[in-house]
A and B are shown apart, each in its own frame.
Chain A
Amino acid sequence: MLRALRARQTALAPLVLLLPAFTVMLFVVALPLAFSFYTSLTPYRLIRPETIEIFIGARNYVRLWDNPVFWAAFWRTILFLAIALNVELLLGLGIALLINRLTWGQRTLRTIMMFPMMFSPILVGFQFKFIFNDNIGIVNNALQALGLTDRAIPWLVDAQLAMFSIIVAEVWMSTSIFAILLLAGLLAMPRDPIEAARVDGCNSWQVFRHITLPFLMPFIFIAMTIRSLDVARAYDIVHVMTGGGPAGRTELLWTLLARVGYDNARMGEANAMAYVSTLLSIAFTVFFFRKLMAARRYMGGAE
């Protein structure tokens, strides 16, 4: 009898220990999610709180299906994510490899490298809005002074250049996240395989391609996962630099969501958009985690 009671206590112990975590998850994550999902099934308007009680089923989602502005922003966000992440990866990897080779001043450079991360995205947005201003901006003035152009290039207006300018701002601010994570990977890397490869006659490219890069892949995918969640929620920089315009050319999901939810006060519709958008983040996260597992298997690590 006593043994049975003790066995039951032992079985319950993990559940009791996990209870605080579950409680926190319930109130901090599950309930707000359930509430916002419910509001997406209502015509909820911030300035008419009573509208939260009107249930309209999937009407917001049906409207969304036929909303070309939303889908344009959706696909544009995917394109923005793909370009920004890959450019940040390439630059971050290059910076990490260069800094890793330094024997003097590495700590100072590592600190300097983190400066862009310390800026608020709003400040970065204003900074690049000024840099790319067609009339008084630094870029156009420099290009004109150097005789490379005699016209004011509309960086924040042209269909391609506007998105390019925003990507430049995003890359400037966040490349250091990749660089720091990849540098951590390089510093943790054992030297033996590299020295063995050199003894076997491998050149630098072969060492990088077959030893360094595979070792870094888990770090790359962790950085990709973190940044994909960040970039998919890009708002401040775009809001300040272009406001999603002109003519929706730089409209991303979260600038559209903010306009619908707050400016137009249609929070029910905005929450429906947010739920569909979440699918995008889940898809990217699942994709990068699968890649991460595959990379760890390749390295012989534990799954």
Chain B
Amino acid sequence: MNMTLKALALGVSATAMIAGSAAAEIDYGSFPDYTLRVKLIGGAQYEPLYAEIGQWEEATGATVQILSRQNHFDLDREIKQDIAAGTLNWCVGSNHTSFAPQYGNIYADLTELIDAEVLAEFVPLVLEHSTVGERLVQLPRHSDVSNLFFLQSLYEDEERAASFEDEHGYPLAPPETWDQVRDQAMFFADPPDFFGTQFVGRDEAVSGRFYEMLVAEGGELFTDDWEPAFNSEAGVRALSWFVDLYDAGAVPAGVPNYLWDDTGLGFASGSVALNLDWAGWAAFFNDPDESAAAGNIGLVRAPMGSAGIRTGWSGSHSFSITETCDNKEAAASFVTFLTDHDRQMVEARRGLLPTRTRVWETAMDEFREGGDEFMVTVFETYQASMAEDAFTPPLIPEWIEVSNVLWPQLQAAMVGDRTPQEALDAAAAEALIIMEDAGYR
């Protein structure tokens, strides 16, 4: 570790003690006339951070050239093309926990580039999730895990509560289990004007949702020797939850085609009672200019499945440094800057979950001082969730491919083309071929 990065480590530690210090006070090194080539994830949630890049350029004398700025799925394709063409002539790339294992050894081990003191500022579990094969290939930027938003007014109507208790034999209260979510969603639903809940229904989004329900039901994706095991009884119970709600019309009829924007905008329209979602939507949901549900939102930890485990599918957006980078020192300085205390506060104010331990506290203090009790509740809930419930999909290169054979079958069960057991058996057979081809069995 050279002197610059040691200074950087000290500087960042100092930042943790003096929240709010400017980037200029930390020594991020000096790289005059150097051009750092980067490929970053784009989109409304991610762009505000990039407005800070000028400060790093000013502090170090380097220039950042953004070669690509697009959604993660397109960025993933571009990186795969770069690997195939041998054109990894850039230094820093956006990455994600679910995608990182696919890329083999193209990214450097950050424990060799960033001081241990800096890394110690991050939430240990999140760093663990950023590690692939004992190599820390990502520096986490912000995390995602989902908790349950609900319309508070639905629980304040005594007549409705009595009717629910008569029907189901227990008091109406924000749900603690997924069975209660099913009961309440069906109870609240009044299609096509109002729906009990909703879920994403395609791509890796629904694979992940199914996966966390599978875990909450006590099931597992693979056995210890990598045989697909999601077509178990627990798997059928997990998938039946989605199918039951779809059959009952308690979710919008279009959910098999929904992605994150659809569920977020749906809840903000005020026409959905319960919505499992990430914290990035929280500020939007409670903004009266954007959301019909503003001022009427409650939040609880993600409910538990029949195994007593809460759902907690989690991942982190992150930055990685290529092994082929011509100036890893500058790249390390850049990713450290983008994930430092002040930069994480830029994202935390928008509801994105920080990956540095101290930023959680600073953000909550700031919300309290501003009288924003809703965002305090959001951060407290998600902090508990990240600490106790979060788990990732298997960190293997084949996860995305297995997901691609799984989600069409989940949809087939939802729309009634197959029973849950038939759908999961079909997906397991295809997943087995993938695992055999990859040499796991």
Residues of A within 8 A of B (CB): 46-49, 133-136, 140, 144, 150-157, 159, 241-249, 259, 262-265, 267
Contact = CB atoms under 8 A, between A and B. Distances in A.
A252 to B, nearest CB: 14
B256 A245 contact: yes
Given A47-B397, A246-B256, A246-B414, 6 more contacts: A47-B80, A47-B104, A135-B195, A136-B271, A144-B192, A245-B257
A153 B408 CA distance: 21
Contact of B262 (A133, A151, A157, A264): A133
B3 interface: no
A264 B400 contact: yes
B80 A265 contact: yes
Task: For the complex of A and B, list the 7 residue pairs with the smallest distance between their C-beta atoms, beginning with the closest.
Answer: A152-B192, A134-B254, A246-B256, A154-B253, A247-B412, A246-B411, A46-B80
A135 B415 contact: no
Interface stretch (B81-89, B121-129, B301-309): B81-89
A133 B191 CA distance: 14
A57 B8 CA distance: 54
Nearest to A258: B77
A49 B86 contact: yes
B257 to A, nearest CB: 5
B257 A247 contact: no
B327 interface: no
Nearest to A69: B408
B420 interface: no
Contact of A136 (B77, B265, B407, B415): B265
B84 A135 contact: no
Interface in B370-403: 397, 400-401
A263 B75 CA distance: 11
B83 A49 contact: yes
Contacts of A155: 254
Contacts of A154: 253-254
Nearest to A265: B80
Contacts of B397: 47
23 contacts: A46-B83, A49-B83, A134-B253, A135-B195, A135-B252, A136-B266, A136-B269, A136-B271, A157-B254, A157-B255, A242-B202, A243-B203, A243-B257, A245-B202, A246-B201, A246-B412, A247-B409, A247-B411, A249-B415, A262-B80, A263-B77, A263-B400, A264-B401
Contacts of B265: 136
Given A135-B266, A247-B411, A247-B412, A242 B257 contact: yes
A46 B81 contact: yes
A152 B404 CA distance: 28
B252 A134 contact: yes
A105 B255 CA distance: 45
A245 B411 contact: yes
A262 B77 CA distance: 6
A49 B106 CA distance: 12
A246 B243 CA distance: 14
Contact of A247 (B252, B400, B404, B408): B408
A157 B269 contact: no
Interface core residue of A241, A247, A267 (most chain B CB under 10 Å): A247
Nearest to B203: A243
A49 to B, nearest CB: 5
Contact of A246 (B202, B262, B269, B401): B202
A259 B407 CA distance: 13
B34 interface: no
Contacts of B77: 262-263
A248 B408 contact: yes
Contacts of A241: 257
A245 B409 CA distance: 10
Contact of A46 (B84, B266, B269): B84
A133 B254 contact: yes
Contacts of B252: 134-135, 152
A247 B202 CA distance: 9
Contact of B254 (A152, A263, A267): A152
B103 interface: yes
